[in-house]
Each structure stands twice: as structure tokens, then as C-alpha cells.
Amino acid sequence: MARRLSLLSFLCLLIAFPPPGFAAEKTVKEGVAAQGLVREIIDGDTLILESGDAVRLVGVQAPKLSLGRPRVTDQPLAAVAKRALAEIALGKKMRLRFFGRRRDRHGRLLAHLFVADGDKGEWVQGRLLAQGLARVYSFADNRAWVAEMLALERAARAQKRGIWAHPFYQVIDVQKADERLDRFELVEGRVRKAAVVKGRGYLNFGDDWREDFTIVLAPKVRRAFEREGIDISAYAGKRVRVRGWITRYNGPMIEATHPEQIEILSD
């Protein structure tokens, strides 16, 4: 049902029925794989099942706690996000649905979670996004439901819910990208030029590619875009929003791995 809604109808429903969540498990027909009781909440997007398995809520990133790691500090609203996940999931039975890679490099399960208690089957990622306590954080090998998650994120940001009222999480202009190195950010700007050099795709946001912000697509990524009908030249002249980790190589850059990372905002 959720996939058939127009964007306008979807946003109207979201306003009429604000958090918790937008989706019920019965709307998803694929991906059933496991279930378990939630024993412990680690942070706003990670929990432990009674079986001992750690589960990372795939597709979202909540504010992170330091968890005793050296030189790592709690991000703003991290404790709030942890409490929100505890309210949704702690002590409850969950159904885990897998649509892509099932474990990350830390051995954690990567799943969409649905509350198994009761008859609504509430989608955990959806509720966190609707409350403004997580950002969409998708991967090339785990792209299910990203469009729905982006819509929830946009609605929460427009209403300045949760993290979207805090400066730490604000969408930044490309001119400020150099100030946010080694951080996951949402960056907006106008693509000045799209180019392919030795198979690698470049979306340049300024005249000097050695200093200005760039989105980079590895050759295999660019070919994957093309298989989905996306020629990177179509981004030229468009105002876009890109999400990812900002690094620096001939200027600040984000390496895109899948199309959902880049949202076209306007011509």
C-alpha cells in the first residue's frame, strides 16, 4: 500500500498520523527471515537480541554514543535516540527482514525491524525517521525501502523534528564541506559540470576541481548508474543533495556508490 501512495497523499497521511512510523509489516511481502526478543539497546540504531545477536537497523543512522571509545564523544541527541529505540523495541519480539547483505564487518545483523507484538507490525526504522531521530544511511548492497525512508526524513526535516532542529545535523552548502571532513553529512549545491575521466565519473560543484567540492563515482559505480538508466551528464546544472562521508582528495569529496545518495532538488 505504502508504495502506491502519491507523495502528496503520503505526506498528508504522515501529518494526520504522526510518529510512530508509517508502515505496517503486513505491507511487506518479502524478506521474512528471523525473529527475536530484544534484550538490550546499545544506541539509537543498534540492539541485542535474546539470542545474543547484535542487530544494526539497516538504512538509518541515529546519533552515536561514544560507548567508551577513545577520542569519541557523544553526538547531540544520542541519548534521546537510544531512549526512543528502547521505547519502541526493548523487551518486545521483533521480526527481522533482510533485503541485501545480512551482516556487516562487525558481525552485526543488518535488518529492517518490525514489532511482532500486536497486529500492526510497526516498522522501527520508519518510526525513528518520522520522529527525526535518525538519518537515511543506505548502501549499494542494501537499498530496499530507501525511497520511503527518504520521504520520512524529508517530512521530519521540514517540521524540524528531533535532530533537524540541531545545528550539528543541518544540511550544509558545498562551500562548507571542507569544514566537515571525516563526517557523514548531507550536502547541497548546484552541479557545475559532469565529466568522465578514465571511466571515473565526476560531478564538479565549482570551477577548480582541485579545491571545490566533488561527487566521485568509481567506474563500476558509474556503469551501475547507467544500467539503471542514469547518465551522470543529466546532473549537470541541477541543484542536488548528496549524502555520505566527506573526505579530501583534490578538494572535499563524497564518493557515491548508488543513486539514492544523490537527490535532484531543482533544475
Question: Domain map of the chain by residue range?
Answer: 2-147, 171-266
Mean pLDDT of 120-133: 94
What is the per-residue pLDDT for 1? 39
121 vs 104 pLDDT, higher one = 104
Q: In Å, how far are 43, 91, 110, 178, 186 from 39, measured between CA atoms? A: 13, 6, 17, 41, 33
Where b means 16+ CB within 10 Å and e means fewer, 44-56 reads bbbbbbeeebbbb
Question: Alpha-carbon distance 58 to 138, whole Å?
Answer: 7
Q: Rounded CA gap, 60 and 142, in Å? A: 11
Tell which residue, 100, 97, 113, 19, has the closest CA to residue 57: 113
Statement: residue 184 has pLDDT above 90 = yes
pLDDT in tens, 111-121: 999 999 765 68
Residue 76, pLDDT score = 97
Q: CA 165, 5, 14: angle at the middle one, nearest 5?
A: 30
Q: How would you class 253 by CB atoms within 10 Å of its CB: exposed for 0-12, middle for 13-18, buried for 19 or more?
A: buried
Band of pLDDT at residue 72, cut at 50, 70 and 90:
confident
Cβ atoms of 49 and 55 within 8 Å: the answer is yes
Q: What is the CATH number of domain 2-147?
A: 2.40.50.90
Q: Is the pLDDT of residue 33 over 80?
A: no
State the pLDDT at residue 69: 81
Judged against a pLDDT cut of 70, whether residue 179 lies above it is answered with yes
How much of the chain exceeds pLDDT 70, in percent? 87
**14 confidence band (pLDDT: 50, 70, 90):** very low
pLDDT at position 4 is: 39
Q: Given this model, what pLDDT does residue 208 score?
A: 86
Packing angle of the helix pair 7-16, 146-158 (nearest 10 deg): 60
171-266 architecture in CATH? Beta Barrel (2.40)
pLDDT, position 8: 40
DSSP state of 123: B
What is this structure's pTM? 0.86
Q: Say which range, 149-153, 248-252, 259-263, has the weakest mean pLDDT.
A: 248-252
Given its phi and psi angles, is residue 266 left (phi above 0), alpha (psi -120 to 50 degrees) or beta? Answer: beta
